[in-house]
């Protein structure tokens, strides 16, 4: 009797290893995507809370004075505004320099959409660039 590994055993082993690697990769990718989305929601919530605290303390919005036009933005953004009752409200660019916060998003300008905007009427805060998660783009939290 010969000793060694047969081609069949080797093929089955390789197939099982490929299945395990693929499964781990898919689960890992989904976990990373979920973690990134949760981090986005957390940052948006922090900015929103600090904006509300600023308004409470200073009796004014922490804004640059620049109004953002809703025209030209996608249906997802408009729909989120409508759901939150902000479809008729003016949206102002949040001035992060007025807030005591260090955050790695929202420090751009209207051309790159990397800004936070706040509704004049409800004080709801939105991230203009949004974050896509599982096929849906979210702008607010």
Is residue 51 a part of any domain in this protein? yes
The whole-number pLDDT of residue 115 equals 93
Is residue 120 a part of any domain in this protein? yes
Is residue 1 a part of any domain in this protein? no
The whole-number pLDDT of residue 1 equals 60
Cα distances (Å, whole numbers) of residue 67 to 30, 88, 92? 37, 13, 5
Residues in the chain: 141
The whole-number pLDDT of residue 39 equals 94
How many other C-beta atoms can be found within 10 angstroms of the C-beta atom of residue 5? 8
Phi, psi dihedrals of residue 2, rounded to the nearest 5°: -85, 145
| Percent helix, strand and coil across the chain, each to the nearest 5 | 45, 20, 35
Q: CA–CA separation, 118 vs 126, rounded Å?
A: 6
92 and 81 Cβ atoms separated by less than 8 Å: no
The whole-number pLDDT of residue 84 equals 92
Domain that holds residue 128: 7-138
55 and 25 Cβ atoms separated by less than 8 Å: no
Q: What is the pTM of this model?
A: 0.78
Is residue 2 a part of any domain in this protein? no
Q: With a cut of 70, list the residues of the chain below it in pLDDT.
A: 1-2
How many domains does the chain contain in total?
1
61 and 50 Cβ atoms separated by less than 8 Å: no
Is residue 82 a part of any domain in this protein? yes
Strand partners, 4: none
């Amino acid at each position: 009797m010969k000793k060694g590994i047969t081609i069949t055993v080797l093929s089955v082993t390789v197939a099982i290893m490929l299945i395990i690697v693929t499964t781990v990769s898919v689960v890992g990718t989904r976990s990373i995507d979920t973690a990134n989305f949760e981090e986005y929601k957390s940052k948006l919530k922090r900015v929103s809370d600090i904006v509300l605290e600023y308004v409470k303390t200073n009796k004014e919005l922490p804004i640059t004075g620049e109004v953002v036009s809703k025209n030209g933005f996608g249906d997802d953004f408009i729909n989120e505004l409508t759901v939150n009752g902000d479809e008729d409200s003016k949206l102002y660019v949040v001035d992060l320099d007025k807030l005591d916060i260090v955050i790695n998003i929202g420090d751009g300008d209207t051309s790159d959409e990397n800004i936070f905007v706040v509704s004049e009427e409800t004080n709801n805060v939105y991230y203009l660039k949004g974050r896509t998660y599982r096929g849906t783009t979210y702008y607010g939290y």
